[in-house]
Amino acid sequence: MAVTIQQLSKWKKEKRSIVALTAWDYSIAHVLDEAGVDVILVGDSLAMVALGHSTTLPVTLEEMIHHTTAVCRGVKRALVVCDMPFLSYQQSISQAIYSAGKVLKETGVAGVKVEGGYPRMVETVAELTTIGIPVMGHVGLTPQSVHRLGYKQQGKTVYEANRILAEAIALAEAGAFALVLEHIPQELAATITAKVPIPTIGIGAGVHCDGQVLVTADLLGLSVKQPPFAKSYVNLREIITNAVDKFAREVKENKFPS
């Protein structure tokens, strides 16, 4: 049965951990879905892992729609969420409604993700939710603010931790259906997870979240560079290199085709 937003809430109550991964094309999405991943995020990290940019900032709404449509074609069960790219939703609430609405209309996703929990973003989430666009929030390290925050852990001081907690609560009250907690201390993630009624999905936020997400290129050992909290479960870079070497050797030695 297809995963729904209601199912995610049920899993939080049942303490059944939610398994989330990113995808950027049809093939990866098809494999993840058949492997039983619950939530597939078309993260704007595709700017880096699929398009070769050095940050997530350059990816456009059109590029996100292009990749998300391909991902949706590969998925039968998982709940698919599309990251709203930088500058497609921060300018005004009407810009956010237009961009998120366009994503929902054109791709087949169940919801969108936006970064930040400052007052105007909370208002934006409330408006999107009111008109029927499900929104996943994202607090802590928000990569679209890399030029202000860097990639360092957030929420280390009491002041910062309280701010992030307040943002998470405000986003939940505004109607967000889930929250990504990125690169924050695990005690803070545990507090947020206990205080908000919606599922928290952690990345570099410890074990006390309602679910975990990784960038799939990191999990597969494909990324050129990966954050310290990521874990590779296989070294596909090495496996692919060996396969390509073997192919090249067989071509040069006239062994392929046989």
- Which residue, 41 or 96, is less far from ligand KIV as judged by CB? 41
Q: What whole-number distance in Å separates Cα of residue 210 and Cα of residue 68? A: 25
- Which residue, 142 or 191, is less far from ligand KIV as judged by CB? 142
- Residue 218 makes contact with ligand KIV by CB under 6 A: no
Q: Which of 83, 127, 167, 218: binder of ligand KIV (CB under 6 A)?
A: 83
Biggest CA-to-CA distance, the chain: 67
Tokens 């709404």 correspond to 61
In angstroms, give the least distance from the CB of 48 to ligand KIV: 9
CA dihedral 23, 27, 32, 33 (to 10 degrees): 110
- Residue 184 makes contact with ligand KIV by CB under 6 A: no
Mark 120-159 with x for binding to ligand KIV (rule: CB under 6 A) and - for no binding: ----------------------------------------
Q: What whole-number distance in Å separates Cα of residue 37 and Cα of residue 219? A: 13
In angstroms, give the least distance from the CB of 181 to ligand KIV: 9
Q: Which of 23, 165, 178, 180: binder of ligand KIV (CB under 6 A)?
A: 180
Residues serving a catalytic function are 182
Residues that bind ligand KIV in the complex, under the rule CB under 6 A: 22, 41, 43-45, 83, 180, 182, 203, 213, 215
